[in-house]
Structure formats: structure tokens, C-alpha cells
Structure 1
């Protein structure tokens, strides 16, 4: 059956000398996988991390892998593919999203969130704290947002996703100097959040805690391979 969908590119894998396997999060059907024969030659330059595209494809009822016949850009990024920091950040984001959304169905709110953030990132120069912003907002989008039960709390309960002052019985918690900063971040609007001056070691620690949080709440979630690169970039 033929369909036209609007998607965010999450993963690109080589299938042959000329073809690709592509994973998208689509507006119409959530996570989708396709083979794009000849894709390297036809649209190779367009298919970058976080590309927003329109996909024309066929899918047999007995197959989970559709076949793309045409793909066109919905948004032409001006900086993400060419800016070394933004392109690295885009790769990190797609690694996270590919794991979080790998079995997701249609979610118009999630697609709108991703579309907005992609365009924002492409046009902004405030991106040092952006990995933290994105992880926290993504957690909200998928229903595992962190709740500040006590504004003076010193303990981040990883199991329940709550910041308070009670030590949880599970022993899955954080109790260090990052918790106060995490509270401040959760209570900041986007501009305040991104403008905060955060020491690189604290930023790295919070990122590690959030990745651990995702591991606990997302089945099969693993540390993105680009984590080390990201932390080096933002030193």
C-alpha cells in the first residue's frame, strides 16, 4: 500500500553499495523502517541526522520494512549539517531518540516537539546546555518527567523520578551537588536554562545521571556511543 508520510530521520544504515536502511519517527505512524534503494546516490546529501522529510513509500502487509520510492525535504537546515558542534549534537539526539522511540506509535505531540526543537537548534547559537534541556524535555514528552517534590530537596530518586529529601529504599538515587542545579534547571524557562553558566564537570555529571535515568525507565536503553564525543565538544 502506498503512503505519504512526514518524518524525522533517526538512523541511517548502509544496506549495499547504493542503498540504505532508514529509520524515521513519522507524524502519521510513529516509528517506521524503510529500505531506500539507490538512496546514497539519489538523496545522500539530504539524509542527515534530524532531517525533516516527506516520504513516499510502499509497504506490504506481511513486511515491517517498507520501500521508499521518493523522499523530499520539508525543511532545509542552514547550520546543523555544516556546524561541527551542532552536527555532533544532532547525532547524539538521534541516538537517544532511536532508542526511546523504537516501538512508538503515532504521537502528534512528540512530532511537533521534535520539529520545533530541530528548527530552534538550526537557528540558535545557545547550545552548550542544550543536551540537558533536550533530555529533560524528552523525559516529559514520554511520561517520565522528573518531579520536584521539595524545592530544597537533596536527593534525586531515580526509580520514582522525584527530587525530595527522603532516601529511597531502592538505593537508586543521586545525592550530590548536581541535585540543587537540577532543581534550578527544572524550574527555568528555556532562555534562562540555556544561558546558565554551568561548570563542564557538573554538566557532564548531570548528563550521566539523566542517561542512567533513561536506562532505568526505557527498556533496552544504552549509553549513546556519541556521549564521550559530546562531553569533549562541550568542555
Structure 2
């Protein structure tokens, strides 16, 4: 069956000489893997640029039930990124977002509300409307809501965690910061010490690991900590 859907590219791997297998989180069909032939061939006709992480696409796809690997009939760029590919901080955040998404959803997982949130987040990151030092934290906090394990309030992010990394002196400030992130989201512009922001990032990632099957360390953590400076 042929279906039209919006899609968010998450990753791709090489397949044979000129092809790739690309993972795309689609709005209507969920997370799918697609075989794209000839996309790595040299020349003007190459469409490899369409399948970079966090690229937003309009797709026409073949959707066969009980088939692990699907095919794409047509793929068009929904919007071209203006800043993400050319700004180190935004590129780093994009890679971090991709890793978090890849590790928290599974093949065929479908959630239109999550897709809409991810699309909005990518556009905000690319347009420069958010203060980047807060962006990864807001992304983790907001994404947890769509995955079903977000606490009801700021205090819950501490009480519902196995580990407690903050000192008694830090707790009032971190709770106030969490409340601000929850209320202001990507518009948050608070001035918070870098050490506290990094500590909160580590805590949120640990919080995610407690709710996901894959608890190994995040590969992009070293780079994303630099963005929080």
C-alpha cells in the first residue's frame, strides 16, 4: 500500500556499494527502516543530502505489513536547515537529540504527538529562537512527557530518581531552575551556573536510563557538555 507521510530522518548506514538503509520516524506510520538504492552514487542526481540526521521530509512510501525493510517511492525536502549544519553548537545538539530519540523509541513505534514535538524542536533549534545552553535540558524534560514517564512537577524529577546528585545547598536552586524550564520551555533565559546545568544534564540522562532498556552511556555526552558552557 502506498502512503503519504511526513518523516524525520534519524540515521542511516551504508548498504552495498551505492545504497543505504535509513531509519525515519514518520508521523503516520511510526519508526520505519527504508532501503534506498543508488543514493550514494556520484553526480548531480545524488540525494544523499536528504538522509542526514534530523532532516524533515515529505514522503511517499510503500508500506507492507510484516515487512522489516520498506521502500520509498518519493522523498522531498520539507524545509532546508539554515543553521544546524553550519553551527557547531547546533550540530552538537542535533546529534545529541538524534541519539536520545534513537535510544527511546523502537521499530514501528508510532506517536503523532511526539513527532509534532520533535519537528517543532528541530525548527526552533534551526531558527535560533532558543538559548542553546538550556536547549538539551528542555528537550529531555519535554520529551519525557510524550514517552509516558515524566513526573507531574519539578520535584518529581528528583524524588522519582534512584540517585540524588545535588547537595542540600543546591536543591532550592535546582528546583527553581527545573520549574522555570517546565514553564518557559525553549524560551527559558535564566542565568544558571554552568556546573549546575551540567549536573542537571547528567541527572536527566540518568533518569532516562532508569526508564529505558538501554542504560549504556551516551556517546554525545562529552560534546553536549561543552554546549552548556
Return the TM-score normalized by structure 1: 0.83
With 173-182 and 195-204 compared, the bigger mean Cα shift is at: 173-182
Larger proportion of helix: 2
Picking from 57, 73, 77, the partner of 1:73 is 77
The question of whether the paired residues in 1 share the 8 Å contact of 2:21 and 2:33 is answered with yes
User: What RMSD over aligned residues (CA atoms) do the two structures have, in Å?
Assistant: 2.4
> Is 2:142 the partner of 1:137?
yes
Picking from 146, 155, 158, the partner of 1:156 is 158
> How far, CA to CA, are the matches of 2:123 and 2:186 in structure 1?
19
Distance change >3 Å, CA 176–CA 23, structure 1 → 2: same
CA positional deviation for 1:7: 0.7
CA positional deviation for 1:2: 2.5
CA positional deviation for 1:86: 0.5
Aligned runs of 1:41-80 on 2, under 5 Å?
Answer: 41=41, 42-80=46-84
Runs of 4+ in 1 over 4 A off after TM superposition: none
Distance change >3 Å, CA 193–CA 5, structure 1 → 2: closer
Q: How many residues align?
A: 220
The question of whether the paired residues in 2 share the 8 Å contact of 1:9 and 1:49 is answered with yes
Distance change >3 Å, CA 193–CA 58, structure 1 → 2: closer
CA positional deviation for 1:148: 3.5
Distance change >3 Å, CA 104–CA 142, structure 1 → 2: farther
With 126-135 and 178-187 compared, the bigger mean Cα shift is at: 178-187
String of CA shifts for 1:14-48, please: whole Å, max 9, x gaps.
Answer: 22332111111111011111111122343212322
SS in 2 for 1:186: helix
Task: Show structure 1 runs of 5+ residues with no match.
Answer: 160-171
**2:106 counterpart residue number:** 102
Task: Show structure 2 runs of 5+ residues with no match.
Answer: none
> How far, CA to CA, are the matches of 1:79 and 1:54 in structure 2?
20
CA positional deviation for 1:103: 4.1
> How far, CA to CA, are the matches of 2:69 and 2:186 in structure 1?
43
Picking from 99, 123, 128, the partner of 1:119 is 123
String of CA shifts for 1:181-235, please: whole Å, max 9, x gaps.
Answer: 4422332233686312222222111111111111111122433211111113433
> Is 2:185 the partner of 1:183?
no
Distance change >3 Å, CA 77–CA 89, structure 1 → 2: same
